[in-house]
Amino acid sequence: QRFSVVVVGAGPAGLTVGSILRAASVDCLVLETETREFIEQRPRAGVIEEWAVHGLEKRGLARNLLDRAELHTACEFRFDGERYRFPYGELTGSHHFVYPQPLLVTDLVREYADVRGGAIRFGVRDVHVHDADTDRPWVSYICPGTGELQVVHCDFVAGCDGARGVSRAALPPERVRIARHDYGIGWLALLAEAPPSTDCVLFGCHERGFAGQMPRSPEVTRYYLQCPPGDDVENWPHERVWSELRERLGAAGVPPLAEGRLIEKRVLDMHDYVVEPMAHGRLFLAGDAAHLVAPIAAKGMNLALHDAFLLGDALVAWLTTGDGSGLDGYAQACLRRVWDYQEFSQWLSEVYHGTAAGDPFRAGTALARLRRLFTSPTAAAAFAEQYLGTAARY
Ligand code: FAD
């Protein structure tokens, strides 16, 4: 078999790259270890930045999103027993889109495979990228069902297989630098079958630990509770979850939380990494395969889309006109935004978690950062830009 591009991984990054290639009639194959049903239901992100939606729209990938996404123009911090609404829409004229990741992935698979006729194999095993440093790379995988080994020759490989993928391993270790940061904390990530108790994202900065509420839809709400890293979800029965959420998100005059059945419960260990360079020969990494940013500032999927726009456009330019400038500058162009978002997430982590650090100095400075957002218009404007991802021209 031969395709111009093999895309490893059918997440937001891989499917966006594939859809951009298909729109330019480039033949490509997407390989995915899970089933279509699984990836269309895997709950994760929900907050998409305005520039990312425009990027999808420009490439014909945002029709359903624009019809169905909710627009968010404010978030609310709760600390010191009070609530503080932060109207970032009024400050900047910009907003967030809230559109659950499974809906976006469903739209992207449909567009790539059913509308644009892209080839995709689900349920594959043992994917390996070979000879990435030559101009004839190839990818091998085992077919589901038959167990047969398949070999696909190609011009380029897009490694979009997320944090646990295999394409990163095809980079020679002596040429790669992996920068890591471990926050030393965990977040219990929850999905509740309940409407959000307010119309916006809530951040509770409490001495018992951080708590967050992220509306996903009128029926489902995401919550987070800070917990020890590696904590066992069995330590978090229904009653304990809701009592901690009530405590940490409590403030004078707030409506009670709308409680409901917990349909997802998992512990995320908060850490970040960045792989540099993001490319080796004909292999280009995109999204979580190249950089993970803890979901503190809801940035990961946005970065995955940013990479995918740049990589998709650069591959099309090379394959259709021989213009290699996009591929040459790809990693550098991605990494400017990646590092900016990593820095903001680290800054925000101290705001969220400083009050519970057991260190009165860190608690004092975390509260000072919070108060500054509501007393200094300059600090508020700077925060809004970072939070919305409009801070800089990258
Ligand atoms: P993935 O979505 O991980 O896709 C990779 C794909 O590759 C998967 O389908 C996987 O099955 C497949 N795969 C893996 N290994 C192989 C292999 N060997 N061969 C073939 N295929 C393979 N981000 C935001 O921007 N906003 C948010 O609000 C937000 N909230 C989040 C909440 C949670 C609880 C979590 C966990 C993450 C959140 N994120 C958020 C981050 C976001 O979900 C990720 O950054 C995003 O999914 C990255 O997309 P991707 O395409 O790079 O990788």
By C-alpha distance, which of 194, 201, 187, 189 is closest to 84? 201
According to DSSP, the residues that pair with 355 across neighbouring strands are none
Q: Whose CA is nearest to atom 53 of ligand 1?
A: 162
- Structure confidence by residue, pLDDT tens digits, 116-159: 999 999 999 999 999 999 999 999 999 998 999 999 999 999 99
Q: How far apart are CA 62 and CA 310, in angstroms?
A: 17
Specify if 155 maps to a domain: yes
Specify if 79 maps to a domain: no
According to DSSP, the residues that pair with 138 across neighbouring strands are 130, 153
| pTM for the predicted model, two decimal places | 0.96
Cα 66–Cα 32–Cα 173 angle in degrees, nearest 5: 110
* 87 has pLDDT over 70: yes
| Coil, strand or helix at 153 | strand
Specify if 193 maps to a domain: no
% pLDDT > 90, the chain: 96
Specify if 207 maps to a domain: no
For residue 142, report the distance from its CA to the centre of ligand 1, in Å.
22
- Structure confidence by residue, pLDDT tens digits, 318-339: 999 999 999 999 999 999 999 9
Q: What share of the chain is helix, strand, coil (3-state, %, to 5)?
A: 40, 25, 30
By C-alpha distance, which of 261, 228, 227 is closest to 242? 261
Task: Give mean pLDDT, residues 193-210.
Answer: 95
Residue of 15, 267, 301 best suited for mutating to test ligand 1, as the one with most atoms within 8 Å of CB: 301
* 393 has pLDDT over 90: no
* ipTM score of complex: 0.97
The pLDDT of residue 394 is 61
**What is the longest distance spanned by two Cα atoms in the chain?**
65
Q: Whose CA is nearest to atom 30 of ligand 1?
A: 45
By C-alpha distance, which of 110, 102, 4 is closest to 46? 102
Specify if 243 maps to a domain: no
By C-alpha distance, which of 117, 155, 120, 149 is closest to 135? 155
Task: Give mean pLDDT, residues 61-89.
Answer: 96
Cβ–Cβ < 8 Å for 320, 155: no
The pLDDT of residue 392 is 61
* 355 has pLDDT over 70: yes
Q: Is the CB of 305 under 6 A from ligand 1?
A: no
CB neighbour list of residue 144: distance below 8 Å, 6 or more residues apart: 121, 122, 123, 124, 125
Q: How far apart are CA 47 and CA 298, in angstroms?
A: 6
Specify if 258 maps to a domain: no
Q: How far apart are CA 227 and CA 209, in angstroms?
A: 7
Q: How far apart are CA 216 and CA 233, in angstroms?
A: 22
Task: Give mean pLDDT, residues 166-195.
Answer: 96
Q: How far apart are CA 239 and CA 245, in angstroms?
A: 10
Specify the residue for token string 């047969």: 148
CB atoms within 10 A of CB 212: 25
Task: Give mean pLDDT, residues 53-60.
Answer: 97
The pLDDT of residue 108 is 98
* 90 has pLDDT over 80: yes
Specify if 226 maps to a domain: no
Cβ–Cβ < 8 Å for 367, 349: no
For residue 387, report the distance from its CA to the centre of ligand 1, in Å.
20
Q: Containing domain of residue 338, as a range?
A: 5-72+97-179+271-344
Instruction: Give the pLDDT band of residue 167 (cuts 50, 70, 90).
Output: very high
The enclosing domain of 18 has a CATH number of 3.50.50.60
Specify the residue for token string 């295999």: 166
Q: Up-side HSE of residue 114: CA atoms within 13 Å toward CB?
A: 7
Cis peptide before 43 (omega within 30 of 0): no
Question: Tokens representing 319?
Answer: 């394959």
* 45 has pLDDT over 90: no
Instruction: Give the pLDDT band of residue 259 (cuts 50, 70, 90).
Output: very high
Q: Whose CA is nearest to atom 17 of ligand 1?
A: 165
Residue of 161, 191, 334 best suited for mutating to test ligand 1, as the one with most atoms within 8 Å of CB: 161
Q: How many domains does the chain have?
A: 1
Specify if 237 maps to a domain: no
- Structure confidence by residue, pLDDT tens digits, 97-125: 999 999 999 999 999 999 999 999 999 99
Residue of 34, 44, 75 best suited for mutating to test ligand 1, as the one with most atoms within 8 Å of CB: 44
Specify the residue for token string 């590696």: 230
